[in-house]
């Protein structure tokens, strides 16, 4: 089941563009215009995450989050995570947003690909709709708790770095990730523009994961890599 997002944005053009892009990325999206509408939407059924503008026609996004945090009747199971998406880029605004209870703060103009990665990261931290934590793509299964990987029921032995790389690819199954993104998500280190370590470890993974058909890890020339679900 797709994760459900609530988009709160008063600019109609941006609201429609953002909603369409997030749906294309695989999310279920409900969009509203004001803070009051956002609170009503949460009251009717809490989303998995809220993408929230700060500057709204009635009251600002910081106040929306404060009310969500302080009024348990709005969301009895706990307030949903919030990603602020706003033109207010001053340091004090960022601090205010995170202090109010936001989980991330992205300023406009923004990179859509980065925004989607940040949304997925928040959802993973919040549980991401996977109660047992396991990731499954076709017959490939990764269990982060036991640190075990199987393909077609057979155990696959991976090094810690190979495991981390596969986990990121599975978490973003169907999404092309650039070498720069993989460096940031897996190694969290700037190698000075040298991306060769990514290609090396993708090659290691392929030998272990794609030794049987169908092939799951694909190269998108000039862009990066993607782990694709097998076609039925």
Domain contains 76: yes
pLDDT band at residue 130 using 50, 70 and 90 as cut-offs: very low
Asked if residue 85 and residue 8 are part of one domain, the reply reads yes
CB 137 within 8 A of CB 198: no
**pLDDT-derived band at 131, boundaries 50, 70, 90:** very low
Provide the 8-state DSSP code for 90.
-
End-of-domain residue from the set 78, 111, 127: 127
Indicate whether 232 belongs to any domain.
no
Question: The whole model's pTM is what?
Answer: 0.56
Is 199 a member of any domain?
A: yes
Q: How far apart are CA 180 and CA 215, in angstroms?
A: 23
Asked whether residue 43 falls in the same domain as residue 119, the answer is yes
Q: For 160-203, where are the E strands, in sequence order?
A: 177-178
Distance CA 16, CA 29 (A): 10
Are 48 and 126 a contacting pair, CB within 8 Å?
A: yes
| Domains contained in the chain, number | 2
Q: Among residues 103, 127, 151, which one ends one of the domains?
A: 127
Query: Are residues 9 and 123 both part of a single domain?
Result: yes
Q: What is the CATH number of the domain that holds 30?
A: 3.40.50.2300
**45 with 69: CB under 8 angstroms?**
no
What is d(CA 53, CA 33) in angstroms, rounded to the nearest whole number?
Answer: 9
pLDDT band at 3 (very low <50, low <70, confident <90, very high): confident
160-180 pLDDT tens trace: 888 889 999 998 888 899 998
Domain containing 146 — which CATH number? 1.10.10.10
Cβ neighbours, 10 Å, residue 194: 10
pLDDT band at 120 (very low <50, low <70, confident <90, very high): confident
The pLDDT assigned to 232 comes to 62
- Exposed, middle or buried: residue 90 (CB in 10 Å: 0-12, 13-18, 19+)? exposed
């Amino acid at each position: 089941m797709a994760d459900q997002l609530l988009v709160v944005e008063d600019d109609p053009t941006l609201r429609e563009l953002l909603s369409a892009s997030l749906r294309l990325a695989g999310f279920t999206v409900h969009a509203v215009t004001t803070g009051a509408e956002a609170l009503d939407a949460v009251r009717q059924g809490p989303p998995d995450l809220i993408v929230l503008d700060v500057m709204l026609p009635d009251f600002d996004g910081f106040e929306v989050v404060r009310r969500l945090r302080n009024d348990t009747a709005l969301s009895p199971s706990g307030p949903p995570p919030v990603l602020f998406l706003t033109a207010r880029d001053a340091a004090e605004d960022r601090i205010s947003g995170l202090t109010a209870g936001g989980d991330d703060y992205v300023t406009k103009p923004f990179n859509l690909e980065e925004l989607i990665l940040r949304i997925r990261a928040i959802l993973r931290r919040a549980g991401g709709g996977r109660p047992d934590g396991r990731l499954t793509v076709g017959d490939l299964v990764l269990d982060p708790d036991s640190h075990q990987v199987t393909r077609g029921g057979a155990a696959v032995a991976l090094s810690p770095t190979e495991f981390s790389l596969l986990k990121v690819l599975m978490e973003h199954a169907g999404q092309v990730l650039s070498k720069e993104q993989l460096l940031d998500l897996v190694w969290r280190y700037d190698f000075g523009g040298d991306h060769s370590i990514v290609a090396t470890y993708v090659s290691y993974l392929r030998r272990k994961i794609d030794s049987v058909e169908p092939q799951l890890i694909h190269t998108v020339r000039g862009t990066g890599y993607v782990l694709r679900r097998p076609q039925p």
